[in-house]
């Protein structure tokens, strides 16, 4: 019998894809709000929603990595921490930066997220799909 509770044995890769799509949609909404000169309270609300969504997504991934003994856990975790640091920079930039600063930081964040999804998260998804496809012992 597996040491992992049955409800946690299969990681929902489709859910991971939906979470990634949600992150990108929130970033696009944030970019549009900044570009359109939206009021600060709307921009901050979008940014806070992005932070909450991202934190939940990262926790979900980190739990799956631990439960399935993912070898690249530490490096993946460092990438998550780096992104959260960039989000903090974005929060500061929104309060104090120029419009160009805001746009460039949002674009950098979006580019980083896409690379992370296409590389680190793809590798994680492939690993999890092989681990969760195995029958329970």
Tell me, yes or no, whether 112 lies in a domain. yes
> Could you tell me the CATH number of the domain that includes residue 86?
1.20.120.50
Q: What is the pLDDT of residues 28-62, one digit of tens each?
A: 999 999 899 888 889 889 988 998 999 999 999 99
Domain residues for 22?
13-132
For residue 136, what pLDDT band results from cuts at 50, 70 and 90?
Answer: very low
Tell me, yes or no, whether 100 lies in a domain. yes
The confidence score (pLDDT) of residue 84 equals 87
Tell me, yes or no, whether 1 lies in a domain. no
Tell me, yes or no, whether 70 lies in a domain. yes
For the chain, give the mean pLDDT.
83
For residue 88, what pLDDT band results from cuts at 50, 70 and 90?
Answer: confident
CA–CA dist 64, 35 (Å, integer): 37
Q: What is the pLDDT of residues 59-83, one digit of tens each?
A: 999 999 999 999 999 999 999 998 8
Tell me, yes or no, whether 7 lies in a domain. no
CA–CA dist 31, 113 (Å, integer): 14
Task: Report the domain count for the chain.
Answer: 1
Contacts of 42 (CB under 8 A, 6+ apart): 33
- pLDDT score of 13 more than 50: yes
- pLDDT score of 130 more than 80: yes
Tell me, yes or no, whether 137 lies in a domain. no
Tell me, yes or no, whether 20 lies in a domain. yes
- pLDDT score of 3 more than 50: no
Tell me, yes or no, whether 3 lies in a domain. no
The confidence score (pLDDT) of residue 93 equals 78
CA distances (Å), 73 to each of 31, 34, 44, 69, 108, in order? 31, 34, 31, 8, 24
The confidence score (pLDDT) of residue 6 equals 41
């Amino acid at each position: 019998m597996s040491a992992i509770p049955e409800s946690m044995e299969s990681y929902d890769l489709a859910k991971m894809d939906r979470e990634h799509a949600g992150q990108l949609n929130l970033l696009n909404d944030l970019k549009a709000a900044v570009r359109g000169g939206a009021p600060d309270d709307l921009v901050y609300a979008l940014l806070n929603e992005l932070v909450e969504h991202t934190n939940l997504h990262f926790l979900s991934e980190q739990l799956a990595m631990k439960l399935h003994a993912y070898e690249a856990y530490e490096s993946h975790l460092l990438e998550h921490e780096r992104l959260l640091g960039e989000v903090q920079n974005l929060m500061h930039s929104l309060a104090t930066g120029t419009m160009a600063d805001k746009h460039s930081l949002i674009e950098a964040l979006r580019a980083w997220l896409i690379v992370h999804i296409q590389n680190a998260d793809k590798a994680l998804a492939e690993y999890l799909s092989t681990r969760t496809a195995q029958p329970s012992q």
